[in-house]
Protein backbone atom coordinates (compact mmCIF):
# COMPACT_ATOMS: atom_id res chain seq x y z
CA UNK A 1 0.00 0.00 0.00
CA UNK A 2 1.28 3.44 -0.92
CA UNK A 3 0.08 6.93 -0.13
CA UNK A 4 -0.02 9.21 -3.16
CA UNK A 5 -0.09 13.00 -2.83
CA UNK A 6 -1.72 14.79 -5.80
CA UNK A 7 -1.85 18.49 -5.00
CA UNK A 8 -4.11 18.88 -1.99
CA UNK A 9 -5.54 15.40 -2.46
CA UNK A 10 -4.16 12.32 -0.73
CA UNK A 11 -4.87 8.88 -2.22
CA UNK A 12 -4.26 5.33 -1.06
CA UNK A 13 -2.81 3.15 -3.81
CA UNK A 14 -3.52 -0.54 -3.23
CA UNK A 15 -0.99 -2.98 -4.67
CA UNK A 16 -3.33 -5.86 -5.42
CA UNK A 17 -1.72 -9.03 -6.77
CA UNK A 18 -3.60 -10.65 -9.70
CA UNK A 19 -2.34 -14.11 -8.73
CA UNK A 20 -3.77 -13.72 -5.22
CA UNK A 21 -7.11 -12.50 -6.61
CA UNK A 22 -7.19 -15.51 -8.93
CA UNK A 23 -6.41 -17.86 -6.03
CA UNK A 24 -9.14 -16.32 -3.86
CA UNK A 25 -11.66 -16.64 -6.70
CA UNK A 26 -10.69 -20.24 -7.36
CA UNK A 27 -10.98 -21.05 -3.65
CA UNK A 28 -14.53 -19.63 -3.68
CA UNK A 29 -15.47 -21.79 -6.70
CA UNK A 30 -15.08 -19.27 -9.52
CA UNK A 31 -12.97 -19.28 -12.64
CA UNK A 32 -11.36 -15.83 -12.99
CA UNK A 33 -10.00 -13.92 -15.98
CA UNK A 34 -8.12 -10.82 -14.86
CA UNK A 35 -7.29 -7.63 -16.74
CA UNK A 36 -4.91 -5.48 -14.71
CA UNK A 37 -4.58 -1.73 -15.30
CA UNK A 38 -2.76 0.97 -13.32
CA UNK A 39 -5.91 2.30 -11.58
CA UNK A 40 -8.30 -0.65 -11.69
CA UNK A 41 -8.44 -4.40 -12.00
CA UNK A 42 -11.27 -6.10 -13.89
CA UNK A 43 -12.07 -9.67 -12.89
CA UNK A 44 -14.48 -11.71 -14.99
CA UNK A 45 -15.92 -14.40 -12.75
CA UNK A 46 -17.57 -17.57 -13.99
CA UNK A 47 -19.03 -20.07 -11.51
CA UNK A 48 -19.47 -23.73 -12.24
CA UNK A 49 -22.60 -24.85 -14.09
CA UNK A 50 -24.21 -26.22 -10.92
CA UNK A 51 -23.34 -23.15 -8.79
CA UNK A 52 -25.76 -20.21 -9.21
CA UNK A 53 -24.66 -16.67 -8.47
CA UNK A 54 -27.00 -15.39 -5.73
CA UNK A 55 -27.44 -11.78 -6.83
CA UNK A 56 -31.08 -10.96 -6.06
CA UNK A 57 -33.53 -8.05 -6.15
CA UNK A 58 -33.84 -6.48 -2.70
CA UNK A 59 -37.16 -4.80 -3.59
CA UNK A 60 -38.96 -8.07 -4.25
CA UNK A 61 -41.00 -9.08 -1.15
CA UNK A 62 -40.30 -12.74 -1.93
CA UNK A 63 -36.61 -12.11 -1.16
CA UNK A 64 -37.14 -10.70 2.34
CA UNK A 65 -35.40 -13.69 3.98
CA UNK A 66 -32.31 -13.25 1.81
CA UNK A 67 -32.24 -9.50 2.34
CA UNK A 68 -32.07 -9.86 6.13
CA UNK A 69 -29.02 -12.17 5.87
CA UNK A 70 -27.05 -10.03 3.41
CA UNK A 71 -23.58 -8.80 4.18
CA UNK A 72 -23.12 -6.95 0.86
CA UNK A 73 -25.47 -4.64 -1.04
CA UNK A 74 -25.08 -3.43 -4.63
CA UNK A 75 -26.35 -0.04 -5.82
CA UNK A 76 -28.30 -1.08 -8.91
CA UNK A 77 -27.77 2.27 -10.65
CA UNK A 78 -23.97 2.34 -10.49
CA UNK A 79 -23.02 -1.26 -9.69
CA UNK A 80 -20.98 -0.19 -6.65
CA UNK A 81 -20.88 -2.65 -3.77
CA UNK A 82 -21.68 -0.33 -0.90
CA UNK A 83 -18.79 0.65 1.39
CA UNK A 84 -16.21 -1.27 -0.67
CA UNK A 85 -13.90 -0.45 -3.60
CA UNK A 86 -15.72 -3.06 -5.72
CA UNK A 87 -18.10 -2.45 -8.63
CA UNK A 88 -20.06 -5.28 -10.28
CA UNK A 89 -21.76 -5.68 -13.63
CA UNK A 90 -23.67 -8.44 -15.36
CA UNK A 91 -21.79 -10.70 -17.70
CA UNK A 92 -23.60 -11.36 -20.96
CA UNK A 93 -23.50 -14.25 -23.40
CA UNK A 94 -23.16 -13.87 -27.18
CA UNK A 95 -26.87 -13.22 -27.67
CA UNK A 96 -26.87 -10.40 -25.09
CA UNK A 97 -28.68 -12.21 -22.26
CA UNK A 98 -27.37 -12.17 -18.70
CA UNK A 99 -25.33 -15.20 -17.73
CA UNK A 100 -26.73 -16.73 -14.55
CA UNK A 101 -23.34 -17.95 -13.39
CA UNK A 102 -21.08 -15.01 -14.26
CA UNK A 103 -20.25 -11.49 -13.12
CA UNK A 104 -17.78 -8.79 -14.06
CA UNK A 105 -16.06 -7.21 -11.03
CA UNK A 106 -14.06 -3.97 -11.15
CA UNK A 107 -11.69 -3.25 -8.26
CA UNK A 108 -10.55 0.34 -7.69
CA UNK A 109 -6.88 0.55 -6.72
CA UNK A 110 -6.86 4.30 -6.01
CA UNK A 111 -9.01 5.41 -3.09
CA UNK A 112 -9.28 8.59 -1.03
CA UNK A 113 -7.12 8.53 2.10
CA UNK A 114 -10.29 8.92 4.15
CA UNK A 115 -11.79 5.68 2.75
CA UNK A 116 -12.89 3.30 5.51
CA UNK A 117 -14.71 -0.01 5.55
CA UNK A 118 -17.70 -0.50 7.86
CA UNK A 119 -16.59 -0.22 11.47
CA UNK A 120 -14.07 2.52 10.53
CA UNK A 121 -11.50 -0.12 9.53
CA UNK A 122 -8.73 1.11 7.24
CA UNK A 123 -8.27 -0.76 3.97
CA UNK A 124 -5.01 -2.61 3.35
CA UNK A 125 -4.22 -5.34 0.85
CA UNK A 126 -4.71 -8.14 3.41
CA UNK A 127 -8.02 -6.69 4.56
CA UNK A 128 -9.09 -6.35 0.92
CA UNK A 129 -8.30 -10.01 0.16
CA UNK A 130 -10.39 -11.11 3.17
CA UNK A 131 -13.25 -8.81 2.16
CA UNK A 132 -13.08 -10.04 -1.48
CA UNK A 133 -13.19 -13.65 -0.26
CA UNK A 134 -16.23 -12.84 1.90
CA UNK A 135 -17.91 -11.15 -1.09
CA UNK A 136 -17.34 -14.18 -3.33
CA UNK A 137 -18.57 -16.54 -0.61
CA UNK A 138 -21.70 -14.39 -0.24
CA UNK A 139 -22.31 -14.61 -4.00
CA UNK A 140 -22.51 -18.41 -3.78
CA UNK A 141 -23.87 -19.06 -0.28
CA UNK A 142 -25.91 -16.29 1.42
CA UNK A 143 -26.67 -13.88 -1.43
CA UNK A 144 -25.95 -10.28 -2.38
CA UNK A 145 -28.80 -7.77 -2.69
CA UNK A 146 -29.25 -5.40 -5.65
CA UNK A 147 -30.95 -2.20 -4.49
CA UNK A 148 -32.78 -0.30 -7.26
CA UNK A 149 -31.64 0.81 -10.68
CA UNK A 150 -31.43 -0.80 -14.11
CA UNK A 151 -27.64 -1.05 -14.51
CA UNK A 152 -27.22 -4.31 -12.57
CA UNK A 153 -29.96 -6.91 -12.93
CA UNK A 154 -30.55 -9.72 -10.42
CA UNK A 155 -29.54 -13.26 -11.31
CA UNK A 156 -31.43 -15.20 -8.61
CA UNK A 157 -35.01 -15.25 -7.37
CA UNK A 158 -37.61 -13.56 -9.54
CA UNK A 159 -35.56 -11.85 -12.24
CA UNK A 160 -38.37 -10.29 -14.24
CA UNK A 161 -40.48 -7.38 -13.05
CA UNK A 162 -43.94 -8.35 -11.81
CA UNK A 163 -46.62 -7.54 -14.37
CA UNK A 164 -49.91 -5.74 -13.94
CA UNK A 165 -52.68 -7.95 -12.59
CA UNK A 166 -56.21 -7.55 -13.91
Question: What does the pLDDT read at residue 137?
Answer: 93
* SS3 of residue 18 by DSSP: helix
Question: What does the pLDDT read at residue 99?
Answer: 79
Rounded distance between C-alpha atoms, residue 100 and residue 8, angstroms: 44
Q: How confident is the model at residue 119 (pLDDT cuts 50, 70, 90)?
A: confident
* SS3 of residue 160 by DSSP: coil
Task: Give the helix/strand (H/E) hosting 133.
Answer: helix 125-140
Burial 6-38 (b: 16+ CB within 10 A, else e): eeeeeebebebeeeebbebbeebbbebebeeee
* pLDDT tens sequence across 62-89: 666 666 678 899 998 999 999 999 999 9
Answer whether 82's CB lies under 8 Å from 29's CB. no
Return the higher-pLDDT residue of 137 and 160: 137
Question: What does the pLDDT read at residue 135?
Answer: 94
pLDDT at 134 over 90: yes
Question: What does the pLDDT read at residue 151?
Answer: 77
Amino acid sequence: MQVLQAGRFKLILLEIDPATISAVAQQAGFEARIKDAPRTMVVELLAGKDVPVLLFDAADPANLGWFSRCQFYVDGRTGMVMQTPIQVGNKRDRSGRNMGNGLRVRIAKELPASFRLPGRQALTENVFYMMFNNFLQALTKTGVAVCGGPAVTPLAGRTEAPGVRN
